[in-house]
Structure 1
Amino acid sequence: MSDKASTQPKKIVIFASGSGTNAENIIKYFQDHDQTRVLAVFSNKKYSGALERAHKLNIKALHFDREAFYNSNDVLNLLKDMDPDLIVLAGFLWLFPSNIIQQFPDRIINIHPALLPKYGGKGMYGARVHESVIAKKEKQSGITIHYVNEKYDEGQTIFQATTSIDETDTPESLAFKIHELEYEHFPQVIQQLLEKDN
């Protein structure tokens, strides 16, 4: 390990659109971690729970709109200045633009609440995923952590974890099981990816 790797903490930036429970879990996981820190949480929703949670945890909370994300390079330039080792999508619903993906190759990851390639793609997020899984009478579901490319949920898989589905499960009870998997595994996989880069 180089001196730089041992003295410079790894930097994470999180993108989230929703309530931000995964973002909060990741922030708290790395709070007492000398080698890694969360720099900021970005959200496309001005009043998202994710920004509120970040603010309460003294993490920079940044809102942006479509213009800043897709057309003006404002978000890209902010990311260049921060130079994160990993960009983590934690319930972020917009398709990532190719200019950001190209700037940070193999440094952007996403979590999906199903076992890809099943139940992925545009419009498949949150309750919609769990409703579809239950409707198809699947015996198991889970999470997929994957690299981000220019298509929804089609980047290379990094990690999957599964949970069984009981006949009595509803979309709500399945969502609870999936959240438990996310909270347990997502920070650990992030840490493993960052340590692998050392």
Structure 2
Amino acid sequence: MNITVLVSGGGTNLQALIDYQNSHADCPYRIKLVISNTKNAYALERAKNAGIPVEVRSPFSVLGKEKAQSASRDEKRIAISDAILDLCREYEIDAIVLAGYLSVLGGKIIGEYSGKIINLHPALLPKFGGVGMWGHNVHEAVLAAGEKESGCTVHLVDSGCDTGKILVQKKVPVLPDDTPDSLYARIAPEEHKAMVEGVCLLAKMLA
């Protein structure tokens, strides 16, 4: 299964996928392309170090400076999503993996890759999902709600926000003295496992 991994930041989950691919001869996926919505994402360096092609598709790169400054958030999302779809066709991508990608896909790509896009979310969906629930916002919300456990979820992407079918969940306890940082530190290793499990499971589903 040829995959593209969409990233925005440090790329630790991308690294987990690269490491699994490199250490397992029977790995059911091959990372053909890494796409970022920001040119400064360290994930791009991780991909280059692994010999994986990279592309950047930001509002400025897709729309140009003037249009990007006046475009609405939805217009930017659709423009980027359409540009990503063009790359997926060019690279003959079978499935799309969102690994810390801090934008929302929309438009034609959702239909064309229906059942073939997965996302990693840093909480136990359906709790703490939806608009604004990303990164430390999620961990802060979990702590504010007094939850006894948290974790991460790999799910299929549909036209909603964090609403698709759940494929993998990993749980960790929430400790009384936790901060968003300490909770994230406990969840992060589970994210890496869930990411690999989720992609391997998707490969089985699409085989």
Greater shift in the superposed pair: 103-112 or 188-197: 188-197
Q: What TM-score does the superposition give when structure 1 sets the normalisation length?
A: 0.89
Q: Deviations over 1:158-196 (max 9, x none)?
A: 121211111122111110111011112210221122023
Q: Decide which of 1, 26, 38 is 2:31's aligned counterpart.
A: 38
For residues 189 and 84 of structure 2, what CA distance do their matches in structure 1 show?
31
Q: What TM-score does the superposition give when structure 2 sets the normalisation length?
A: 0.85
Return the offset for 1:112: 0.3
What is the aligned-residue identity percentage? 37
Identify which of structures 1 and 2 has the higher relative contact order when contacts are C-alpha pairs closer than 8 Å and 6+ apart.
Answer: 2
For residues 76 and 166 of structure 1, what CA distance do their matches in structure 2 show?
42
Unaligned segments of structure 2, at least 5 residues: 64-76
RMSD: 1.6
Return the offset for 1:79: 0.6
For residues 106 and 45 of structure 1, what CA distance do their matches in structure 2 show?
26
Q: 1:162 to 1:120 in 2, by over 3 A?
A: same
Q: Deviations over 1:35-69 (max 9, x none)?
A: 42101110000111111111111111110123366
For residues 71 and 125 of structure 1, what CA distance do their matches in structure 2 show?
22
For residues 118 and 60 of structure 1, what CA distance do their matches in structure 2 show?
35
Match of 2:106 in 1: 97
Q: Decide which of 43, 48, 56 is 2:41's aligned counterpart.
A: 48
Match of 1:116 in 2: 125
Q: Which secondary structure state, in structure 2, belongs to the residue aligned with residue 194 of structure 1?
A: helix
Q: Which secondary structure state, in structure 1, belongs to the residue aligned with residue 38 of structure 2?
A: coil
Tell me if structure 1 keeps the 8 A contact 2:153–2:194.
Answer: no
Tell me if structure 1 keeps the 8 A contact 2:156–2:166.
Answer: yes
Q: Deviations over 1:61-105 (max 9, x none)?
A: 110123366238332111112222221000011110121111111
Greater shift in the superposed pair: 155-164 or 104-113: 155-164
For residues 74 and 197 of structure 1, what CA distance do their matches in structure 2 show?
24
The reply on whether 1:71 has 2:79 as its aligned counterpart is yes
Amino acid at match of 2:46: R
Match of 1:175 in 2: 184
Match of 1:166 in 2: 175
Q: Decide which of 2, 20, 28 is 1:11's aligned counterpart.
A: 2
Match of 1:61 in 2: 54
Amino acid at match of 2:18: I
For residues 102 and 80 of structure 1, what CA distance do their matches in structure 2 show?
14
